[in-house]
Amino acid sequence: MAGVASTAVIGGTRYKEVKNGILAALAAKEWKGGEAIPSEKRLSERFGVSIGTLRKAIDELVADNILVRHQGLGTFVAQHRRDRYFFRFFRVVRQDGDKTYPTVSLVSFTKTKATREIAATLGIEPNARVFSFVNRLALHGETVMIDNITVAEERFPGLTEAALRERPSTLYNFYQDAFHINVVGTEERLRVATANDVEAELLEVLPGTPLLEVRRIAYSYHQAPVELRISHVNTARYEYVGPSASHEEPL
């Protein structure tokens, strides 16, 4: 009986190894956003498992919004398209519940060195080169939110101010299309802050006005941190709606 149980445990965890293998291939940019992954037969041969074990691994990746099945066409790497993914990550809505896409304008763009705190957050060496930029977001014609974003140069080589200004879609879609970095999850922490002089000017409020501060770390495959974002929200007419309350899919 012990031998049977041991075999069952091994078989039951094999799909996790396959899932990690597929994630490793995605992290290595073997298959990019919107591309089909190989057939089940080829993948089962590659990982040395049965079709059933492979399907269980793919089922979890589909549930995690990393892969997506298209009936009759196959399984594809999920893409950050505005209509499907945007409100999974953008959670600021008007107090009457109205959701709308923000108008985003780039305020500043700089290249600098990572502090110890930023380096630890992004998993890079202290003093490594990073890009820092500030976006102003307006909803219904009113500036509501300021994003301070930092990314590592080693993960976003060649990023320029012009590319950010001219990007045709959402920022995470831009990451995917231009750098093959797919954001698959985020971790957020919220607290109350007050507007400093710069934030007050951009948000058109008085210095010292209470704001909602949202500190977000965005992750790619294997929980690799790819972006640090600190946002300040004027909640006079807007509020933050969490994933469960807005019925969003789990990360």
> Are 138 and 144 spatial neighbours (Cβ–Cβ below 8 Å)?
yes
Distance CA 85, CA 82 (A): 6
Distance CA 199, CA 209 (A): 10
| pLDDT bracket for residue 81 (50, 70, 90) | low
Structural domains of the chain ordered from first start:
2-77 (1.10.10.10), 82-240 (3.40.1410.10)
Tokens of 4: 């049977």
Q: What is the pLDDT of residue 230?
A: 98
Task: Say which residue, 143 or 87, is predicted with more confidence.
Answer: 143
Q: What is the pLDDT of residue 25?
A: 86
pTM: 0.77
| pLDDT bracket for residue 100 (50, 70, 90) | confident
- Among candidates 217, 216, 228, 251, which has minimal Cα distance to 92? 216
Greatest alpha-carbon span in the chain: 72
Tokens of 234: 């004027």
Summarize pLDDT for 123-151 with one digit per residue, the tens. 999 999 999 999 999 999 999 999 999 99
Task: Say which residue, 8 or 116, is predicted with more confidence.
Answer: 116
Q: What is the pLDDT of residue 82?
A: 52
Give the CA distances from residue 240 to residues 119, 144, 171, 232, 237, in Å, rounded to whole numbers and listed in that order.
28, 11, 19, 11, 11
Among 84-93, 135-144, 186-195, name the one with the lowest average pLDDT: 84-93
Average pLDDT value for the chain: 87
Residue type, 88: R
Contacts made by residues 74-78, CB under 8 angstroms, sequence distance 24+: 74/36, 74/37, 74/39, 75/36, 75/37, 76/34, 76/35, 76/36, 76/37, 77/26, 77/31, 77/32, 77/33, 77/34, 77/35, 77/37, 77/182, 78/33, 78/182
Mean pLDDT across the stretch 181-192? Answer: 93
Q: What is the pLDDT of residue 76?
A: 87
